[in-house]
Amino acid sequence: MTKQRTFILFSLLPALLLLAVFTFYPFFRGVVMAFQNYVLFDLTNVRFIGFQNFENAFNDPKFLYALRNSAIWVVSSLTLQFLIGLSLALVLRRGFRGRGVYQGFVFYSWALSGFLIGLIWKWMFNSQMGVVNDLLMRAGLIEQRIGFLSDPNWAMVSVIVANVWYGIAFFAIMLLAALQSVPAELYEAAGMDGAGAIRKFFSVTLPYIVPTIIATTLLRAIWIFNDPSLIYGLTNGGPAGSTHILSSLMMEKILSGGDYGSASAIGVIMLAMLMLYTVFYLFVTKSEKVGDF
């Protein structure tokens, strides 16, 4: 028994070392830096300053604006991605000619990086040569070109549209897999009871895929909240910081000023928010339905 335990521990050692070096150490180092004055260009003045970085963050209008944007960004993107993804999954569940090709077009966006998608949509939203302006003018919906990414009134809407397009494939893939696992016998039994398509959806389909919905919406919300790549590729947080979310603001603190202390404080605040959100979400949705994921 002792030899078996030793063998198991020895086998796990490489994985534990990798986790310790690349996950746990950066995490704990980041938490420590959140309480330090740690500016890359002034390393001779690194010192503990208590909660000063957190106070500075909550007194910074830019942080509060990014906090508001983060809420809009997550709720809008998640809601639209889920509804459109579920609709596509319901359509794709039915067999039709060319379904494989159609699935390929729906799912291919998931193979691209967020930064690359940001660059693609940056070209599409371009006020001078972008295809979005061209289509809207040809359709007669606008008379003058719109600066989707240069106008603060349009910039946040534009990045949300791009993010919705990016995330639809995730929900379509996951929910299609869940829909295909619903036993056909349940639909036959519901049909014998006189249930129509809408009643079958709410009485059979929806209850059966609830665990998948809870798990995917939870994970996707965390993903959207944490990922700054799409915003960085599209607007870099501009114009005038109007599209900054917390994760992109954290990146800006590091890349523009080398202020690792302030960036780490924002990271710790984000971590606390996500932990509270996860506990609340699993409590409200009754986490035992989710199972292991």
Q: What is the pLDDT of residues 112-145, one digit of tens each?
A: 777 788 888 888 988 888 899 889 998 888 888 8
Q: Render pLDDT for 248-278 as a digit per residue (tens, 0 to 9).
A: 999 999 988 889 999 999 999 999 999 999 9
User: What pLDDT does 49 receive?
Assistant: 92
Q: Hey, where are the domains in the chain?
A: 54-289
Angle between the N-to-C axes of helices 131-138 and 114-124, in degrees from 0 to 180, rounded to the nearest 10: 40
User: What pLDDT does 276 receive?
Assistant: 94
**What would you measure as the largest C-alpha separation in the chain, in angstroms?**
79
* Rounded Cα distance, 252 and 237, in Å: 8
With residues binned 3-state (H G I as helix, E B as strand, rest as coil), the percentages for the chain, rounded to 5, are 75, 0, 25
**What single letter denotes the amino acid at residue 226?**
N
pTM of the model: 0.84
- Hey, what CATH class is 54-289 in? mainly alpha
Phi, psi at residue 146, to the nearest 5°?
-105, 135
* Rounded Cα distance, 263 and 241, in Å: 16
HSE-up (13 A, CA, CB side) for residue 190: 17
Q: Render pLDDT for 25-39 as a digit per residue (tens, 0 to 9).
A: 999 999 999 999 998
User: What pLDDT does 149 receive?
Assistant: 87
User: What pLDDT does 71 receive?
Assistant: 94
User: What pLDDT does 293 receive?
Assistant: 47
To which H or E segment does residue 47 belong?
A: strand 47-48
User: What pLDDT does 41 receive?
Assistant: 86
* Rounded Cα distance, 72 and 118, in Å: 18
DSSP 143: S
Decide if pLDDT at 57 tops 70: yes
Question: Do residues 235 and 96 make contact, with C-beta atoms less than 8 angstroms apart?
Answer: no
User: What pLDDT does 1 receive?
Assistant: 58
> Token match 């049909």: residue?
191
Q: Render pLDDT for 202-254 as a digit per residue (tens, 0 to 9).
A: 888 888 888 889 999 999 999 999 988 888 888 888 888 889 999 999 999 99
DSSP 246: H
* Rounded Cα distance, 255 and 258, in Å: 6
